[in-house]
Structure 1
């Protein structure tokens, strides 16, 4: 293939789409069961080749973020997922769990507002975080 030729784009099969939807629903249920806060799901199919869904949620403290990450990791392993990527368990300010078609970001609320991943995907910050966002310094790019 010449460098100027576009590589063919493979579309996920309906089964793959159902699998990623089911995986995202499973993670959302685990987070809800363990009192994650301000959880949102962002459908990034067609916008990113990294995953189909991104889940962003908050824990009340470092300990809660760590516990949420542990619950998610255990449930994914129980579903038979292997090669799950994890970053941030040392401090638990922001834990990233890469489950393949679903990427999970777990934050302490202040850290979540600081990084504001929702803004990258043009999704509003959940109402539960608005008070923290109002107290944060103004973004110079706004």
Structure 2
């Protein structure tokens, strides 16, 4: 559902990183970019609403006012939404891959 929501909102370079057995914070991490702060904020708001509708639980969101980097904590899934420049600066994919095979990238249509 998370990946579908991001795809529907035209997120770019969506990556999933499995964390099960590697970290106690979540089972999966999703990283994606938006083309602007407006798109990042919109994707985050819509995703948080969809998660609440499906699970009945509100998610925690950090970074929404500036929308350069928005973190959504949905329990077992952590979602990071970035503007491209901010994403390349922090390079979370490299930090969280633990030397494993490259993170899986969702193909964009």
Query: What TM-score bracket applies, with the shorter chain setting the length?
Result: 0.7 to 0.9
Which of these two proteins has the greater Rg computed from alpha carbons? 1
Instruction: Report deviation, 1:83.
Output: 3.9
Larger RCO: Structure 1 or Structure 2 (Cα < 8 Å, ≥ 6 residues apart)?
Answer: 2
Greater strand proportion: 2
Q: 1:37 matched to which residue of 2?
A: 12
Instruction: Report deviation, 1:80.
Output: 2.7
1:81·1:99 contact (CA, 8 Å) conserved in 2? no
CA distance in 2, matches of 1:83, 1:75: 10
Unaligned runs of 5+ in 2: none
Q: 2:72 matched to which residue of 1?
A: 97
Matches within 5 A, 1:99-138: 99-122=74-97, 123=102
Structure 1 length-normalised TM: 0.67
Query: How many equivalent residue pairs?
Result: 100
Q: Which runs of 4+ in 1 moved over 3 A?
A: none
Instruction: Report deviation, 1:48.
Output: 0.3
CA distance in 1, matches of 2:22, 2:55: 27
Greater helix proportion: 1
- What is the RMSD of the two structures over their aligned residues, measured on CA atoms? 1.3
Unaligned runs of 5+ in 1: 1-25, 127-142
Question: What is the DSSP-based 3-state SS (H/G/I as helix, E as strand, rest coil) of the residue aligned with 2:2?
Answer: helix
CA distance in 1, matches of 2:59, 2:46: 13
Deviations 1:20-75 (A, max 9, x none): xxxxxx10010001100000110010000010000000000000000100110110
Structure 2 length-normalised TM: 0.87
Instruction: Report deviation, 1:82.
Output: 1.6
